């Protein structure tokens, strides 16, 4: 049975007509055979409506994305029903654009892959309902995708990377470290105990009123912090990096966010300005918060590498560490991670920034990976549901904490 909640109704009669119109806008060639497998990927788990057509060799044949960032910046954060409405308004056009750009007909597709977990319920529902109708009409297999699995595997599209590798996935909604042993084999080493780093950056950027800053007005919070930090001095403020005494691979960012909040209130008093105006020390605060977050992320990743190396889960030389997710497009954080991978004789690999943030390519590629491995391909997707919350892989974070690995007293040069 389909998910029967508010979102299920959105693709009722009118929408079915739209799907029909969508399909009839292409010339269908039912008999055409392609050498390579070709997957249409659809992503709507948060605030980007994205689609892409990717083939087995990693060629991106067509791509389209509609970002809601600017709209959510105006409302001071993502309001789920607003995100849902924007997905509804854009999904047909975005999928159509991606397929048209590929110069293929929908019937040429080997399968349709769609993010069904984790994410915002209302947003996931739009992508799933749309995809199920498409799958039903085209009689194609459906591949449900875990958003974080897709972030982790993107690197295998851009680089030649074998399993196992360590993945650090840092975004607006997620923060985790996992050992990737296969397409759907993950060992979860640690995760954020509260908010994700992107969420923290977004909140700090809002508190700093960076939307009113002429250089940052259209940027996501994290991007604005990175941009402004380049003009600031990280040493002006001593923001303690989180969880200094922890011996596990978990993260925490809400304490840092609270400390920055207090600092901003104090600076507003000192500078005699009202909340809502941009502080003259905004760039220094941005640099300090970015530095504290980078140190926390780098040190926790350091411990995860040591854990994996000591347990024989990763090689002692030339193991690959992958950083992905929106926050991994931050060059300062990448530099901190590079310092750690140099110390541990690993190689840091990151997808290009546009593939770190949410996109349809990573979903289509995850579909290709699953198709090749013969994993989770549904020929009858009836009963499939979206899952707003869904852990990734086998959670061994307790074991990691019990190992209580100390990080050597070295300076992580950033
Ligand atoms: O992966 P993503 O597009 O969506 C989620 O799955 O959450 O990540 C979006 C997050 C936002 O919080 C945004 O502020 C952050 O990634 N972000 C950055 C940068 N670019 C985007 N954070 C730090 N530095 C950046 N350059
Ligand atoms: Zn994401």
On whether the CB atoms of residues 225 and 289 are closer than 8 A, the answer is yes
Rounded average pLDDT over 304-312: 98
Q: Which residue has the higher pLDDT, 2 or 25?
A: 25
85 Cα–ligand 2 center, Å: 19
pLDDT confidence bin for 8, thresholds 50/70/90: very low
The CB density around residue 345, as the number of other CB atoms within 10 Å, is 13
Out of 19-33, 45-59, 106-120, pick the least confident. Answer: 19-33
Output the CA–CA distances (angstroms, integers) from residue 140 to 113, 134, 155, in the order listed: 10, 8, 26
202 Cα–ligand 1 center, Å: 8
Q: Which residue has the higher pLDDT, 238 or 167?
A: 167
Ligand 1 pocket test: which of 198, 199, 292, 333 has the largest number of ligand atoms within 8 Å of its C-beta?
198
pLDDT confidence bin for 284, thresholds 50/70/90: very high
Rounded CA separation 173/145 (Å) = 16
- DSSP letters spanning 94-144: HHHHHHHHTT--GGG-SEEEEEEESS-HHHHHHHHHHHHHHHHHHT--EEE
Out of 46-55, 105-114, 266-275, 374-383, pick the least confident. Answer: 266-275
Ligand 1 pocket test: which of 211, 327, 328, 366 has the largest number of ligand atoms within 8 Å of its C-beta?
327
Ligand 1, atom 21, lies closest to the CA of 326
Question: What is the reported pLDDT for 76?
Answer: 80
The CB density around residue 15, as the number of other CB atoms within 10 Å, is 18
What tens digit of pLDDT does each residue of 359-372 get? 999 999 999 999 99
Out of 29-38, 85-94, 237-246, pick the least confident. Answer: 29-38
Residue 9 has pLDDT above 50, yes or no: no
pTM value? 0.91
Sign of the dihedral defined by the CA atoms of residues 104, 127, 39, 176, in that order: positive
Question: What is the reported pLDDT for 31?
Answer: 44
Question: What is the reported pLDDT for 32?
Answer: 53
Ligand 1 pocket test: which of 150, 175, 325, 357 has the largest number of ligand atoms within 8 Å of its C-beta?
357
Q: Which ligand is nearest to the CA of 356?
A: 1
Q: Dmax of the chain from CA atoms? A: 72
Q: What's the CA angle centered on 285, arms 354 and 304, to 5 degrees?
A: 55
Question: What is the reported pLDDT for 2?
Answer: 28
Question: What is the reported pLDDT for 22?
Answer: 63
Rounded CA separation 9/197 (Å) = 34
pLDDT confidence bin for 15, thresholds 50/70/90: low
What residue ranges line ligand 1, CB within 6 angstroms?
46, 171-174, 198-199, 201-202, 220-223, 226, 325-327, 329-330, 357-358
Out of 7-21, 219-233, 304-318, 379-393, pick the least confident. Answer: 7-21
Question: What is the reported pLDDT for 328?
Answer: 97
Q: What are phi and psi of 177, to 5 degrees?
A: -120, 130
Residue 6 has pLDDT above 60, yes or no: no
pLDDT confidence bin for 5, thresholds 50/70/90: very low
On whether the CB atoms of residues 412 and 339 are closer than 8 A, the answer is yes
Ligand 1, atom 23, lies closest to the CA of 222
Rounded CA separation 323/151 (Å) = 9
Residue 347 has pLDDT above 80, yes or no: yes
What tens digit of pLDDT does each residue of 107-126 get? 999 999 999 999 999 999 99
Question: What is the reported pLDDT for 23?
Answer: 60
Rounded CA separation 117/389 (Å) = 7
Quick one: which of 137, 177, 144, 182 has its CA closest to 164? 182
Q: Give the chain's end-to-end CA distance (angstroms, integer).
A: 52
Question: What is the reported pLDDT for 3?
Answer: 30
52 Cα–ligand 2 center, Å: 15
Residue 11 has pLDDT above 50, yes or no: no
75 Cα–ligand 1 center, Å: 17
What tens digit of pLDDT does each residue of 135-154 get? 999 999 999 999 999 999 99
Average pLDDT, the chain: 91
What tens digit of pLDDT does each residue of 197-227 get? 999 999 999 999 998 899 998 899 999 999 9
């Amino acid at each position: 049975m389909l998910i029967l909640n508010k979102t299920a109704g959105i693709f009722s009669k009118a929408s079915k007509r739209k799907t029909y119109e969508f399909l009839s806008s292409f010339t269908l060639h039912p008999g055409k055979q392609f050498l390579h497998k070709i997957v249409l990927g659809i992503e709507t788990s948060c605030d980007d409506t994205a689609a892409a057509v990717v083939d087995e060799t990693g060629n991106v044949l067509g791509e389209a994305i509609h970002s809601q960032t600017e709209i959510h910046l105006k409302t001071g954060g993502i309001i789920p029903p607003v995100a849902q409405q924007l997905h509804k308004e854009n999904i047909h056009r975005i999928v159509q654009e991606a397929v048209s750009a590929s110069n293929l007909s929908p019937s040429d597709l080997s399968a349709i892959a769609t993010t069904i977990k984790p994410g915002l319920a209302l947003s996931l529902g739009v992508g799933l309902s749309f995809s199920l109708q498409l799958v039903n009409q085209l009689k194609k297999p459906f591949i449900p995708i875990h958003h974080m699995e897709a972030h982790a595997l993107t690197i295998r599209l851009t680089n030649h990377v074998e399993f196992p590798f360590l993945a650090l996935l840092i975004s607006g909604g997620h923060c985790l470290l996992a050992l990737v042993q296969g397409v759907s084999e993950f060992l979860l080493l640690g995760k954020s105990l509260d908010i994700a780093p992107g969420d923290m950056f977004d909140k700090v950027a809002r508190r700093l009123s960076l939307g009113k800053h002429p250089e940052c007005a259209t940027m996501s919070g994290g991007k604005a912090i990175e941009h402004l930090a380049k003009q600031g001095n990280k040493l002006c403020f001593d923001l303690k990096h989180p969880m200094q005494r922890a011996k596990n691979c978990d993260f925490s960012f809400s304490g840092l966010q609270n400390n920055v909040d207090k600092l901003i209130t104090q600076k507003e008093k000192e500078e005699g300005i009202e909340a809502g105006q941009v502080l003259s020390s905004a760039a220094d605060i941005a640099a300090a918060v970015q530095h504290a977050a980078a140190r926390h992320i780098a040190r926790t990743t350091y411990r995860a590498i040591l854990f994996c190396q000591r347990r024989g889960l990763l090689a002692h030389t030339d193991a690959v560490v992958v950083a992905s997710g929106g926050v991994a497009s931050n060059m300062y954080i990448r530099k901190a991670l590079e310092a750690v991978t140099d110390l541990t004789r690993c190689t840091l690999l990151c997808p290009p920034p546009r593939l770190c943030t949410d996109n349809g390519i990573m979903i289509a590629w995850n579909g290709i990976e699953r198709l090749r491995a013969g994993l989770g391909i549904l020929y009858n997707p009836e009963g499939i549901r979206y899952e707003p919350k869904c852990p990734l892989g086998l959670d061994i974070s307790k074991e990691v904490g019990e190992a209580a690995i100390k990080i050597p007293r070295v300076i992580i040069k950033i």
